[in-house]
Structure 1
Amino acid sequence: MPKRLIIVILVLLPLLQIQAQKEPLRLGVVGLTHGHVGWILNRESSDDINMVGIVETNNELALRLAKQHGFSMEIVYGTLEEMIRATKPHAVAAFGNIKDHLTVVETCAPKGIHVMVEKPMAVNWEHAQKMGRLANEYGIHLLTNYETSWYPTNEKAYQLLKEGKVGALRKVIVRDGHKGPKKIGVSPEFLEWLTDPELNGGGALMDFGCYGGNLMTWLQQGERPLSVTAVTQQLQPENNPKVDDDATIILTYKNAMAILEPSWNWPIGRKDMEVYGETGVIYADNRNRLRLRISEGYDGFSEEVFNLEERTAPYHDPFALFAAVIRGEITLGPYDPYSLENNLITMEILDAALRSAETNSTIILRD
């Protein structure tokens, strides 16, 4: 090969690789029944992701959403296998019931197709372990999408804690939820499986308890709790006849405790966290407002209030982050909220919480 040609190839190859990296990620959407599917269907046009196919067996639902969001019914398929053959996606995002997450991973992992599921990771601990083994065996990224993962306030709370601003961690209280699925008017297709213990794994405990377990595992950098104690109630039997709609979960650690309060009975929707250290407390009041209080004397304190801007790309959008991880532009820490390692522990916590509530006992987690 002529020397000049070799030089040209060496110059062009990196440019071609950069161009390939910038090609839109071919994303398939599996299911349309999850209320969060609007995140992708409403997403503004961008050159990072191209939605190439949708899997949905409910044709009436697909037609309704196609009219609402402007996608073509030509990209809607009846099965995941059919969609994969026709569109050859690099990745899929699951927006069906939680039980189907395992089937999605079982189908996609052997084909090298990356997967992002909505929280919680799985319908139960057994499914989560199978999903984790498949992801590791076939080397795919398996992420779990939480709205709270990249809240500016949660990220700031994590940074302040690691910087020692409030001293050693002692207690975390996480409260998540709303009035209840029926009361807030979720779609009939969403309500049908969200209140089905087989398809969702439980009620409010699973739906919102996962947020607290996920955040605590992140703050503790993968430390598993020593014990899990949970109490559930059904305060709206007329709306949630098959599942719990209110729960309190207590997690004990070697040097700290967490209290998780997932509920479908909050009068006002909320996703907030309190982080207590030895010398102060961090209040992540909502997505953008955080307060840092430092102890002064018995009950006095100084307070600093942060009104935080949204995080920069790709942390501003779950799909942008998914694409960045797949391209190798972002490497998640081993216990970051989206990570497989974190969500396996989160599912272990939820499984123990369900068993605790069912047996009226504290569940001891062993190595």
Structure 2
Amino acid sequence: MEKQYRVVIIGFSHMHINDVAAHFYENPRTDLVAGADTIPLVPELKEGTFTRKWNLEFCRTNFKIPKIYEDYREMLDQEKPDLAVITCENAQHLEVMYECAVRGVNVSIEKPMAADLSMAMEMIRISNTYGVKMFVNWPVTWRPELHLMKDLLDEGKIGRILEFKIRVSHTGPLGDGAKHPGVKITAEPMTNEEKARTWWYQSKCGGGAMLDFCCYGAMMSRWLIGKPAVAALGMRANLNTQWGNAEDNASMLVRYDDAMASIETSWTTYHDLVPVNCPMVYGTKGAMTAAQIDGKDCVKVILPDGEEEYYYPPELEYQYRDIACAFVHNMDTNEPVHATLTPEINIDGMAILDAGVRSCNSGRLELVNNWAWQIG
């Protein structure tokens, strides 16, 4: 008889939980047995769409979570889950992950892995010490065209990679007309003061566009280029949301040993002039990007002579469909999960982000640290 896996949710501040929880609810091998929010560093003023209390109620109602605890530690002790889905503020990832690990509970952490590199490294140490599995969930992991893109790049379809580019932008997590996976409605209007009291716009909580959006480019450039980065140059600013103290726009230039990456992010964009969240890769023998033709996701390749080729991805195998399937398959077989979920890729992504943040503060190009050079 196949085992049923018990899953709990810790933290409802990240609206991605509304999509993530749906996958565990719909998977016949996982049972959502309980949930608990963390204590916010900054109390919210409104229970509007995509705020923490709204997310909790949405998940409780739509995914029939039988019990909500006031204290997530008590929940872990009482429910003894196989997995904790962690979707709290970035700054709380280490604390929550530790409480899970000491109880032998595996964790799935919503991207980014942590608020900084030191925190991410400590999480890996804890995972190894207590022998628990740690996954980092990315919405982009489940896009078939990106799997195909990686395969084509590794086959040398456009030669050696020279440059990676990406732009990730919208009006902000709670901005005008904000829409997020798993929920059909858009964000309801909130005053500046109400938005300012959410963790998204508080630097000490791990908020801001740089951690939220530059993390995509950091991780994907590392994954697609296939090696750790060397250095990064960053710039961030609070251009239009000064009622909060986190940046709403950020960019990074990342240096690899024989390639470079350009990452643009914004929380102040109503309409984009270029494809959003679609990596563009330039090589010695052409260019490649994720695209959509007649409503179908695909990979577009432009060869040196200008000829265009389109490749359509096959349906993904079970373990690559969503985080719930990945968890079940890994627990059943102990086969490796997708590279983008692993601590190995994510620590390199965090190292890029860390260098970018340090560069924002210093105004200089900063080296990307690793286990040997990151102290503390």
Residue 34, structure 1, aligned to residue 14, structure 2? yes
SS, match of residue 350 in structure 2: helix
Structure 1 gap segments, 5+ residues each: 1-18
Structure-2 change in CA distance of 1:141 and 1:226 (3 Å): same
SS, match of residue 319 in structure 2: coil
Counterpart for residue 112 of structure 1: 104
Structure 2 gap segments, 5+ residues each: 40-51, 179-186
Q: How does 1:62-211 map to 2 (within 5 A)?
A: 64-65=57-58, 68-69=61-62, 71-72=64-65, 74-181=66-173, 182-185=175-178, 186=187, 192-200=198-206, 202-211=207-216
Q: How does 1:269-288 map to 2 (within 5 A)?
A: 270-285=276-291, 288=297
Letter of the 1:241 partner, please give it.
Answer: G
Match among 307, 310, 317 for residue 312 of structure 1 = 317
Match among 304, 307, 311 for residue 302 of structure 1 = 307
SS, match of residue 361 in structure 1: coil
- Separation in 1, partners of 2:127, 2:38: 26
Residue 330, structure 1, aligned to residue 335, structure 2? yes
CA contact (8 A) 1:172 1:259 kept: yes
Counterpart for residue 241 of structure 2: 237
TM-superposed deviation, 1:253: 1.1
Structure-2 change in CA distance of 1:309 and 1:195 (3 Å): farther
Counterpart for residue 228 of structure 1: 232
- Separation in 2, partners of 1:150, 1:63: 24
SS, match of residue 292 in structure 1: strand
Structure-2 change in CA distance of 1:216 and 1:100 (3 Å): same
SS, match of residue 144 in structure 1: strand
CA contact (8 A) 2:209 2:248 kept: yes
Structure-2 change in CA distance of 1:70 and 1:134 (3 Å): closer
- Matched residues, number: 337
Letter of the 1:235 partner, please give it.
Answer: L
TM-superposed deviation, 1:205: 0.9
Residue 52, structure 1, aligned to residue 61, structure 2? no
CA deviation profile, 1:9-58 (whole Å, cap 9, x unmatched) = xxxxxxxxxx2xx2121111101221011124434533221111111268
Letter of the 1:197 partner, please give it.
Answer: S
TM-superposed deviation, 1:257: 0.6
Match among 254, 257, 262 for residue 254 of structure 1 = 257
Residue 342, structure 1, aligned to residue 331, structure 2? no
- Separation in 2, partners of 1:63, 1:164: 46
Counterpart for residue 42 of structure 2: none
Letter of the 1:94 partner, please give it.
Answer: I
CA contact (8 A) 1:49 1:320 kept: no
Counterpart for residue 183 of structure 2: none
- Separation in 2, partners of 1:168, 1:57: 45
Q: Please give the root-mean-square deviation of Cα atoms over the aligned residues, in Å.
A: 2.4
TM-superposed deviation, 1:241: 2.8
Q: Sequence identity of aligned pairs in percent?
A: 25
CA contact (8 A) 1:273 1:285 kept: no
TM-superposed deviation, 1:229: 0.2
Counterpart for residue 326 of structure 2: 321
CA deviation profile, 1:306-342 (whole Å, cap 9, x unmatched) = 3445523121111211222233353136xx1111011
* Bigger radius of gyration: 1
Structure that is richer in helix per residue: 1
Structure-2 change in CA distance of 1:49 and 1:256 (3 Å): same
SS, match of residue 222 in structure 2: helix
- Separation in 1, partners of 2:29, 2:114: 27
CA contact (8 A) 1:56 1:62 kept: no
TM-superposed deviation, 1:230: 0.9
- Separation in 1, partners of 2:344, 2:177: 33
